Amino acid sequence: MTSCATTKELVSLQKEIKKPKSIQVPQTIEELKTISQDVKDYTQNIKKSSFSQAEYEKKYFRIWNIDKSSLSLHDVMWADRAYRVGKTYGENLQLLKPSFFDALLDNSNYDKYLTLNIKALSIKPLNIRAMPTIKPVLRDPSKAGEGFPFDYLQNSTITANKPLLISHYSKDKEWAFVESSFAYGWVKASGIVEIEKKYTTLWQEAEQVFITKEGVPIFSKDNKFLFKSRIGMMFALIDENNDSYTILTVNKYKNNQPLFLKAKIEKNIAHKERLEFNSQNINKILKEVSKTNYGWGGIYGQRDCSSTLRDFYAPFGLWLPRNSSQQAKLGNVILVDDLKNTEKREIIKENAKPFRTLIYKKGHIGLYVGIKNNQIIMYQNVWGVKTLKDGVEGRFVIGKPIFSTLEVGSNLKDYDKNSSMLYKLKSISTL
């Protein structure tokens, strides 16, 4: 505004600017300072246990062992019914036009649904989209918890090396409609490769290696970058020595054929077969998972509440479904939504087991980690705390994984106690 002003003019402007009467101190969530954010403070008394790797692999590779998807065309077209003209916005925060949805529906090529049923593998991290486009569909950006970054076409993400089943391709061949063991939707066709059944069988018969460290570059034998490690990855083992594993992965060759590659990874970033569920390993894996911020649907390489828990349990050989509502149905479920807050607290204290009990409210899920100073503590990857001022809903953004009480943010001036995890709690479920 003042880039072309003379010195004399700037001095005059400064005299006219009104100084604030008082400095506004930004609000903070006090308990994030008083409650330990170190996982080691919650794992001292964890009892050792183990999960079934055979059961994990059965679910992980499920999609390679079916002839075709059981999803109906009605199921896979859910987004075409859910998002309407006049209620959705694009990346420029303007209402989307009918032509946007018409073009996507035409390109989706649903007449060809279930005509291919080809086994495949992802060769790099991919977004799973509800429609074949990278463009977002947003709801009213003027409302709290809507607009950026809540792209409703962002269904989920998959890492490199994930088994897939291809239903069909879009008309322009840029996209493939796929199903994985935990999610389905559209992915970029350039990020997958088709694989014959004889190779998927060999892959499943191999010993498996779980990744235990986040964000380490993985290279082929000829030192070409492939992708970065991520908690939740599992690889077929070819060989090992004292310091490293040789794993199998895939890239693309000419004519879209699979190019099988060997890659060497250090043993300090991976573990052969599943980990024992104990304090030391929980500390290690949770710290790695917590390196990502909150990301709706895994967007921008981040994690949301349910994918955080899903990836956390993977190296231990415990398979979780993708969405919070599905995860909440696992194990020993206790419904609490009709109880008072005091009764809910008692139920949790009497029945929950640290790092084994999931705490669920509609649309959000976290992990019970124990009792500290008579307070129930949970681990959750959360976008923010709901606020209410003069009847208008807002958000105090956190945007990352935290250890907290069930009423995180209660010290905030406009805290909405009727939207807290405790007040809205529907169930707890012990795995």
pLDDT in tens, 297-342: 999 999 999 999 999 999 999 999 999 999 999 999 999 999 999 9
Mean pLDDT of the chain: 94
Residues 265 and 301 in one domain: no
Of 1 and 127, which is predicted with more confidence? Answer: 127
- For residue 2, is pLDDT > 50? no
Residues 291 and 391 in one domain: yes
- For residue 13, is pLDDT > 80? no
14 in a structural domain: no
Residues 212 and 298 in one domain: no
Q: Which domain holds residue 224?
A: 206-273
354 in a structural domain: yes
- For residue 10, is pLDDT > 90? no
Cβ–Cβ under 8 Å, residues 312 and 289: yes
Residues 183 and 262 in one domain: no
Q: For the residues 182-207, what does the mean pLDDT come to?
A: 97
Worst-scoring range by mean pLDDT, 191-205, 249-263, 383-397?
A: 249-263
Total domains in the chain come to 3
What's the confidence (pLDDT) of residue 278? 98
Torsion of CA 141, 144, 148, 150, to 10 degrees: -110
Which CATH number belongs to the domain containing residue 35 in this structure? 3.90.1720.10
What's the confidence (pLDDT) of residue 216? 98
Separation of alpha carbons 258 and 181, rounded Å: 21
- 3-state helix, strand, coil split of the chain in percent (to 5) is 30, 30, 40
Residues 290 and 425 in one domain: yes
Residues 243 and 366 in one domain: no
What's the confidence (pLDDT) of residue 54? 96
- For residue 11, is pLDDT > 90? no
Residues 323 and 342 in one domain: yes
Residues 65 and 97 in one domain: yes
Residues 110 and 149 in one domain: yes
pLDDT in tens, 144-162: 999 999 999 999 999 999 9
35 in a structural domain: yes
- For residue 219, is pLDDT > 60? yes
Residues 420 and 361 in one domain: yes
Separation of alpha carbons 393 and 144, rounded Å: 6
Separation of alpha carbons 32 and 260, rounded Å: 47
Residue 256's pLDDT band (cuts 50, 70, 90): confident
pLDDT in tens, 95-121: 999 999 999 999 999 999 999 999 999
- For residue 422, is pLDDT > 60? yes
Q: Final residue of a domain: which of 193, 223, 250? A: 193
Q: Final residue of a domain: which of 134, 158, 193? A: 193
95 in a structural domain: yes
10's tokens: 């700037």
Residues 284 and 418 in one domain: yes
Q: For the residues 36-63, what does the mean pLDDT come to?
A: 96
Residues 283 and 426 in one domain: yes
Separation of alpha carbons 129 and 390, rounded Å: 37
Torsion of CA 112, 118, 124, 128, to 10 degrees: 40
